[in-house]
Amino acid sequence: MQESLKSILSEAGIEDELIQEIQKVGFPKTARSGELIITPGSTSMHMPIVLEGLLSVVRQDEEANEILLYYLEGGETCAMSLACCIEGKRNDFKVTAEDNSVLWMIPMNYMDEWIQNYRSFRKYVFSSYQTRFDELLETIDSITFLNLYERLYKYLLDKKQATKSYEINMSHEQIAQHLNTSRVVVSRLLKQLENEGKIELERNRISIL
Amino acid sequence: MQESLKSILSEAGIEDELIQEIQKVGFPKTARSGELIITPGSTSMHMPIVLEGLLSVVRQDEEANEILLYYLEGGETCAMSLACCIEGKRNDFKVTAEDNSVLWMIPMNYMDEWIQNYRSFRKYVFSSYQTRFDELLETIDSITFLNLYERLYKYLLDKKQATKSYEINMSHEQIAQHLNTSRVVVSRLLKQLENEGKIELERNRISIL
DNA sequence: CACACTCTGTAACATTAGTTACAAACAATG
DNA sequence: CATTGTTTGTAACTAATGTTACAGAGTGTG
């Protein structure tokens, strides 16, 4: 675990000195596939770095309708929690482990100091902000400019990308929630995708061809 | 103009020393209502601070469909252009003056130094990032969880808020573009809002009641 | 294997949003 | 004030998405 943390940070250009500090003050956290990691309304005091696995970040409204914003894959971090913490704001997200996952949690109070002292860490944090921002934009693009058929297909391809697997183990109901639509609609469109030879359907599994 | 810049920055907690530097290395830029300030594909080397007026930030797809992401009001800045610049990325936005506006343009190359040396500037930049991010989330919420009738009404109220005026001087066509729908649909729903006593319609003008 | 539960397929229908077409009102200009 | 271009209103229609209802297939458990 320490190894994977080290290689992720060093890949990001962080110097050994800071890596050691991150190892010292942080701690690991594991989550089983399906486990809820952050609930809306909570306030977290840590910035998580994903060492292994896959997290989904989902937005919810008052009536518990949902939409998937983006995934956090191995090696990625979510600097967004920074501001959420600095400004004492509440979390507006639901973060779920889509897979058995390992995180490295860094207490927030070191952030400002590191941002000040390490150019590499500044870059790391800003780059994380920017990546999240770009992903939100892509989500907006999908919702706005694609119809549901296209969005669904893109969803499957993105999931394939994120899990590096051609097999998606989800029920239609779960997919419908990520897209904020109904199960019936998803089933209908999935069947269409199958008829067009783009996917293959089984119970709790979709294979991308 | 220098006065308004100074009061904005000092309001944001920036110390006099840095304010003076910002005044020294930046320069003003004016834009008439309707003027295009940033086009998709361009690369800007400046971070703009809005001194007066109102900017709209719009997302476009390949077929020139559009959707309004958020407004930049007087006193606000767009630190997003930071990363856009650091990473040499292209701009994916269209920024338009919704009103006669005055901006203060700061060359990017000072950013890193200021972020390193001034805690206040760090806060300012991060807070800008966070505000933009929150606004994107609100946009996603609207698109995802509201129907067009509700979105349109919210659009009008937001515009009222941004311009601090109960009169909106836009054609139905312009509104339709911001919402990525068609003029006919907007006219239909506006008429409905009028019938329900929420607004009053005239040519090129909507009054919010 | 009997039972309960979850998941998927499909039909029929309702609602929302998008499109096409056209007429009338309004504004600007020579 | 005649002409042209823009804006708005409205009807009629199409397409996309959402809803309800139900049946059958698959899975897990005692």
User: What angle in degrees, to the nearest 10, is found between the helix axes of A2-11 and A16-25?
Assistant: 140
| Domain spanning A2-144: CATH 3.40.718.10 | no
B206 exposure class (CB count in 10 Å sphere: 0-12, 13-18, 19+): buried
Q: How many contacts (CB atoms, under 8 Å) link A and B?
A: 89
Q: What is the mean pLDDT of residues B11-18?
A: 95
Mean pLDDT, rounded, for B77-101: 79
Q: Label residue B88 by pLDDT band (50, 70, 90).
A: low
To test the contact with chain B by mutation, choose from A136, A146, A151, A182 the residue with the greatest count of B C-beta atoms within 10 A, namely: A136
Q: What percent of chain A shows pLDDT beyond 70?
A: 95
Q: Hey, is the C-beta of A141 within 8 angstroms of any chain B C-beta?
A: yes
CA of B172 to C1' of D4 (A): 21
pLDDT of residue A84: 65
Interface contact A36, partner B, CB < 8 A: no
Contacts of A144 in chain B (CB under 8 A): 59, 61, 65, 67, 143, 180
**pLDDT digits 0-9 by tens, A146-157:** 999 999 999 999
Percentage of chain B surpassing pLDDT 70?
95
List of chain A residues whose C-beta atoms are within 8 Å of the C-beta of residue B129: 83, 129, 133
- Pick out chain A residues at pLDDT < 50: none
| B92 pLDDT more than 90 | no
CATH code: domain B147-208 is 1.10.10.10
Q: How many CB atoms lie within 10 A of CB B122?
A: 18
Q: Are B132 and A133 a contacting pair at CB < 8 A? A: yes
Q: Which residue of B has its CA nearest to A136?
A: B136
- Closest nucleotide relative to residue A205's CA, C1' based: C7
Give tens-digit pLDDT for B129-158: 889 999 999 999 999 999 999 999 999 999
**Weakest-pLDDT range from B53-57, B84-88, B173-177:** B84-88
Q: What is the pLDDT of residue A83?
A: 65
Q: Which pTM was predicted?
A: 0.94
Q: A71 with A182: CB under 8 angstroms?
A: no
Looking at the predicted structure, is the pLDDT value of residue B6 above 70? yes
Averaged pLDDT for residues B85-89: 64
Cα distance between residue A116 and residue B114, in whole Å: 10
* Whether B45 contacts chain A with CB within 8 A: no
Check CB contact of A139 with chain B, cutoff 8 Å. yes
* Contact flag A126-B86 (C-beta cutoff 8 Å): yes
| Residue A169, pLDDT score | 96
Please report the pLDDT score of residue B15 as a whole number: 95
* Residue B149 Cβ under 7 A from any strand C atom: yes
Using an 8 Å CB-CB cutoff, list chain B residues near A139: 140
Give the bridge partners for B66, in sequence order. Answer: B60
The answer to whether residue A86 neighbours chain B at the CB level (below 8 Å) is yes
Of A119, A127, A143, the CB nearest to B144: A143
What single string gives the DSSP state of each residue in B5-27? HHHHHHHTT--HHHHHHHHHH-E
Locate the domains of chain A by residue range: 2-144, 147-208
Instruction: Pull the structure tokens for residue A134.
Output: 């770009």
